[in-house]
């Protein structure tokens, strides 16, 4: 809690992260899978002398550029903007832990931009070997970007030995790193095929659509297998508390597995059936398939993000931006003493007196309780919007609310321990009683 808190009514600031990130994930995976398949396609077409396939790839690169570079650049910047405002402590921790990794990823991103621009603008001027080389350079840099980012995001769920060693490689090569690379590589091949189906629904001749879609579909089948293998390995590699939560609430995870399985069967069907390929390129059907692919990726990301709670970095940093190693000190001294921005805000409503609030005016106590609620609870809950707190406390009296505030994990495993004193939990209860009209 070393940073000011950005509160977004109804939605909640942390919910902006998945809203922006889920859009970017679909685009960024297309950037990786599309790069791989464009390179493989160029290589195969040039070796066979298949000018029609090369012509398709030439036009597909333009569509690919618009989606991944133009739109993808906007959503990529949006992620940094939202995480910096919504979760600054976690963002700071990831930057400081993986400075070298982020620097390397930015280099790969620049190489991606230069190579895909070169591939598009100089396609006709390049010799076959040069075109294949530039396509390979893009595919490699895009995949390496995926590998680096996977190392960082996987670290959040399973920091492994880094907790003891604080070594860069222990954090990067964490237990879920390899499963994550398999899942994301496979997912990129799957979503690229669905993007290709969507593109083919309004581009190319009927014969081109049939032949090219058959070529793409085999890669989607491979991608689905990678996702299933990597997903299973991920469930075995995550910390025990995540495994337990998956067992208790398997619905979302099973839905994501089901969607991957459906995609695998669809890919096999597209590979073997001309009739199915023709049906898939009907615009409405193609758009529906693409949206199903979006849903599958979003379900997987939801599993990764939501089941990591109550931490943003497992066993290291709670979602309330309190380090696990500092929790005892926060509970002994109180948030009003250790939280610089909490103390600053509380002093403004109390006239500088935050020491003896037991006998303070009820309005003052409720005002301080609102500040504590905002910093401790609004990382997940809003007042009347997403995960609204009021319906959850409607039947509770003040003592019950205070007990929930003081002992959150006793009521839900996704809630972090309260980083404050019992008196401060009582202040939160005073505020919620006033807000909800409880007795």
Whether the CB-CB separation of 215 and 207 falls below 8 Å is answered with no
What's the CA gap between 179 and 147, in Å, rounded? 11
| Spatial distance between the Cα atoms of 99 and 108, rounded to a whole number of angstroms | 14
State how far the Cα of 389 lies from the Cα of 297, in Å rounded to an integer: 29
Res 153: pLDDT:
92
Segments making up each domain of the chain, as ranges? 13-318, 325-436
The answer to whether 174 and 277 have CB atoms below 8 angstroms apart is no
pLDDT in 10s for each residue of the chain, 439 residues = 678 888 877 777 767 777 777 788 889 999 999 999 999 999 999 999 989 899 999 999 999 999 999 888 888 888 888 888 888 899 999 999 999 999 999 999 999 999 999 999 999 999 999 999 999 999 999 999 999 999 999 999 999 999 999 999 999 999 999 999 999 999 999 899 989 989 988 876 777 788 888 888 889 888 988 988 998 899 899 999 888 888 877 776 677 677 677 777 777 777 777 777 778 778 888 888 888 888 777 777 777 777 888 999 999 999 999 999 999 999 999 999 998 899 999 898 888 788 778 878 888 889 999 999 999 988 888 888 888 888 888 888 889 999 999 999 998 888 999 999 999 999 999 999 888 755 5
Instruction: Count the neighbouring beta carbons within 10 Å of the beta carbon of residue 11.
Output: 12
Q: Write out the two tokens for 354.
A: 């935050």
pLDDT of residue 424: 92
Q: How many angstroms separate the first and last alpha carbons of the chain?
A: 31
- 99-115 burial code (b ≥16 CB/10 A, e <16): eebbeebeebbebbeeb
CA distance 400 to 250: 30
> Could you give the CA distance from residue 159 to residue 84 in angstroms, rounded to a whole number?
21
CB atoms within 10 A of CB 70: 10
> What burial letters (b/e) apply to 44-63, b meaning 16+ CB within 10 Å?
ebbeeeeeebbebbeebbee
**pTM exceeds cut of 0.85:** yes
The pLDDT score that the predictor gives to residue 247 is 82
Question: Distance (Å, rounded) from C-alpha 217 to C-alpha 196?
Answer: 10
Cα-based distances in Å from 431 to 330, 369, 409: 21, 5, 21
Give the whole-angstrom CA distance, residue 87 versus residue 56: 43
Q: How many alpha carbons lie under 13 Å from residue 399 in its C-beta half-sphere?
A: 0
Question: One fold for both 13-318 and 325-436?
Answer: no
Q: What is the CATH architecture assignment of 325-436?
A: Orthogonal Bundle (1.10)
Burial grade of 332 (CB within 10 A; 0-12, 13-18, 19 or more) = exposed
**Cβ count within 10 A of residue 373:** 21
Task: Please give the class, per CATH, of domain 13-318.
Answer: mainly alpha
What gap in Å lies between CA 428 and CA 372, rounded to an integer?
A: 6
Handedness of CA 112, 113, 118, 121 (dihedral sign): positive
What's the gap between Cα 422 and its chain centre? 34
Q: What does the angle CA 297 – CA 193 – CA 146 come to, to the nearest 5 degrees?
A: 55
At 438 the pLDDT is 54
């Amino acid at each position: 809690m070393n940073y000011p808190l950005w509160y977004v009514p109804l939605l909640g600031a942390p919910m902006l992260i998945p809203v922006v990130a889920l859009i970017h994930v679909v685009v960024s995976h297309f950037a990786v899978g599309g790069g791989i398949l464009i390179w493989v396609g160029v290589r195969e077409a040039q070796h066979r002398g298949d000018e029609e396939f090369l012509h398709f790839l030439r036009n597909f690169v333009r569509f690919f550029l618009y989606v991944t570079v133009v739109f993808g650049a906007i959503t990529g910047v949006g992620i940094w903007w939202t995480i910096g405002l919504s979760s600054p402590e976690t963002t700071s921790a990831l930057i400081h832990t993986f400075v070298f990794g982020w620097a390397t990823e930015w280099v790969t991103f620049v190489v991606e931009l230069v190579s895909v621009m070169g591939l598009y603008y100089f396609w006709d001027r390049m010799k076959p070997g040069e075109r294949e080389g530039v396509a390979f350079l893009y595919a490699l840099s895009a995949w390496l970007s995926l590998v680096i980012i996977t190392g960082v995001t996987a670290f959040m769920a399973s920091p492994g030995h880094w907790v003891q060693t604080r070594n860069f490689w222990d954090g990067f090569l964490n237990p879920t790193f390899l499963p994550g690379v398999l899942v994301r590589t496979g997912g990129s091949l799957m979503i690229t095929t669905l993007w290709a189906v969507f593109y083919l629904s309004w581009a190319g001749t009927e014969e081109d659509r049939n032949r090219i879609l058959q070529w793409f579909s085999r890669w989607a089948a491979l991608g689905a297998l990678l996702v299933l293998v990597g997903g299973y390995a991920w469930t075995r590699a995550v910390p025990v508390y995540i495994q337990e939560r998956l067992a208790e609430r398997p619905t979302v995870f099973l839905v994501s597995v089901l969607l991957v399985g459906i995609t695998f069967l669809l890919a096999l069907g597209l590979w073997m059936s001309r009739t199915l390929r023709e049906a898939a390129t009907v615009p409405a059907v193609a758009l529906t398939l693409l949206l199903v692919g979006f849903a599958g990726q979003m379900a997987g990301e939801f599993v990764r993000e939501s089941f990591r709670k109550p931490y943003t970095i497992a066993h290291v940093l709670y979602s309330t931006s309190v380090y696990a190693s500092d929790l005892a000190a926060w509970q002994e001294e109180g948030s009003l003493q250790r939280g610089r921005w909490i103390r600053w805000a509380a002093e403004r409503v109390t006239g500088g007196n935050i020491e003896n609030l037991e006998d303070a005016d009820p309005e003052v106590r409720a005002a301080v309780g609102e500040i504590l609620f905002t910093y401790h609870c609004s990382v997940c809950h809003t007042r009347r919007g997403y995960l609204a707190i009021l319906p959850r406390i409607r039947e509770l009296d003040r003592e019950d609310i205070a007990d929930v505030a003081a002992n959150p994990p006793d009521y839900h495993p996704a809630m972090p321990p309260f980083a404050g004193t019992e008196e401060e939990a009582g202040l939160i209860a005073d505020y919620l009683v006033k807000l909800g009209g409880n007795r």
